[in-house]
Amino acid sequence: MKNPLNYRRAGILLHISSLPSDGGSGDLGQEAYNFVDFLHNSGITVWQTLPLGMPHSGGSPYQCLSAHAGNPAFINMRWLTEKGWLQKSEECDDCYAGDAFGKSCLTAKAFLGFQSLATKEDKENFESFCKQSKSWLDDFALFFALRQEFSCQCWNQWPKALKNRQSAAMKKARERLSSLINSVKFEQFVFFSQWNELKAYAKDKNVLLFGDIPIFVSYDSSDVWANRKVFKLDKEGEMSVVAGVPPDYFSETGQLWGNPHYDWEYLKKTGFKWWVERIKTQDELFDVLRIDHFRGLESAWEISAEEDTAINGQWVLAPGKELLQAIEQECGSISLVAEDLGVITAEVDALRNSFNLPGMKILQFAFDGSSDNFYLPHNHEKNSVVYTGTHDNDTTLGWFNSLNEHDKYHIYEYLGFSKTSMPYTMIGTALASVANLAIIPMQDILELGSEHRMNIPGTCEGNWKWRFDWNQLTEERVGRLAHLVRMFGR
């Protein structure tokens, strides 16, 4: 299989939650297919999303209950009614919100319909999914059922026998919660079925799906509960050190993520089995995968769990070369992109280059007045992905408007005093880059300001909620975008 990243392509960054919808979140229904059609008609061949996992209450797709499970909020209910498993009359007021809880309520009702009305082929597909996903699905379904039973408490607050996965307690829990466990498995079956149908449609339209895999996982997750040896935890299962990043462009005090660090020695002894299985799940969902915080595979910022900020920490080496070799050996022709932003050293660059992985070029980082800034277009290289900005940046229009007049003049001077207004000046610059892949956030396509940004790193409130409306995508904008894509050979 040829590497899809070896060709000039254009893509748009838009999370599933940001699709138009009647509910509280975008989903995998008709609007997702409409978005694929828009991409295809514009000549755009890549759709990049954020991680698809089930987030905690804060909504961050980078802090999820499982490294494998999909987010129930993305399940489309009409699909279930069209299958005949969910009757319209079964919907209730609590389920109209469109969030994960409401949709779980409906999928539980659909599971009852599935058991009595599904075809033999559908039931065989469900059984096959459960069997193929057994390595993570059994633990996740039990974890999620127990979490519901204990009012969403973190697993380290559960009764000791369940916290420590004692066999007798686990057996009783599986028996006691068997109905809910099977319903959770069905919910995941529905999610993966809907995603695979969307992926097949995108393939027919020559659109690649580009996913994102967080380097770390949440402490309160089925992964940590079921695989404590994989992580740096004490005998009681508690964290003494947590992950984050030191002060950088995004935050003066760094970012205290609070995720557990990996026990790399244990992972090496197991041939990185846990990591490889995680990658395989995502590789089935996507055509291209970005490894978020790639530099953590060379060394990661380790902070005492008692610290209030990420300022006081240390870099701890990681066996990235051995891990990537294991992934390469087990996953064959997987296409990976390295998120190499932040504090990047020669060692991180060497690791990325040794596996020929594209890095990232962010145009909003380019204009510091230095001609050797490697984000400037004249310093780009083919084997890279250029962005106007990412989900962690301000929108390009918001970013530009926040600059002083001197900095604005410098940018336009570099760009040849373009007569095109922001953000399309930067969009054109990204598409003109020699980088094989150019990704534009949907907010920039729609010429939106700061109030429409997706996330402000280091903050917990008000993020991950942005949605777009088709009325914003005017015929003029569609035409301009398609023209630029053609003009720059993408």
Active-site residue numbers? 292, 339, 392
Show contacts of 157-164: CB within 8 Å, 24+ apart: 163/225, 163/237, 164/237
Cα-to-chain-centroid distance, residue 64: 10
Q: Which distant-in-sequence residues (6+ apart) come within 8 Å of 52 by Cβ?
A: 16, 61, 70, 71, 74, 195, 211, 285
Beta bridge partners of 386: 361, 438
Tokens of 148: 């519901």
Cα dihedral 202, 98, 393, 489, rounded to 10, equals 20
Tokens of 419: 């007569």
Nearest to 302 by CA among 240, 347, 251, 349: 240
Contact yes or no for 60/24 (Cβ under 8 A): no
Nearest to 139 by CA among 185, 86, 107, 187: 185
Nearest to 428 by CA among 399, 390, 400, 386: 386
Beta bridge partners of 290: 212, 337
Residue with tokens 């060709």: 7
How many Cβ atoms are within 10 Å of 98's Cβ, its own excluded?
19
Nearest to 207 by CA among 411, 401, 46, 396: 46
d(C-alpha 215, C-alpha 469), whole Å: 32
d(C-alpha 287, C-alpha 322), whole Å: 23
| Backbone φ/ψ region at 181: left (φ over 0), alpha (ψ -120 to 50), beta | alpha
**E strand segments, 305-399:** 313-317, 336-338, 359-362, 384-387
Give the distance between the most distant pair of CA atoms in the chain. Answer: 72
Contact yes or no for 380/433 (Cβ under 8 A): yes
Q: Which distant-in-sequence residues (6+ apart) come within 8 Å of 299 by Cβ?
A: 315, 316, 317, 318, 345, 347, 348
d(C-alpha 475, C-alpha 482), whole Å: 11
Contact yes or no for 262/232 (Cβ under 8 A): yes
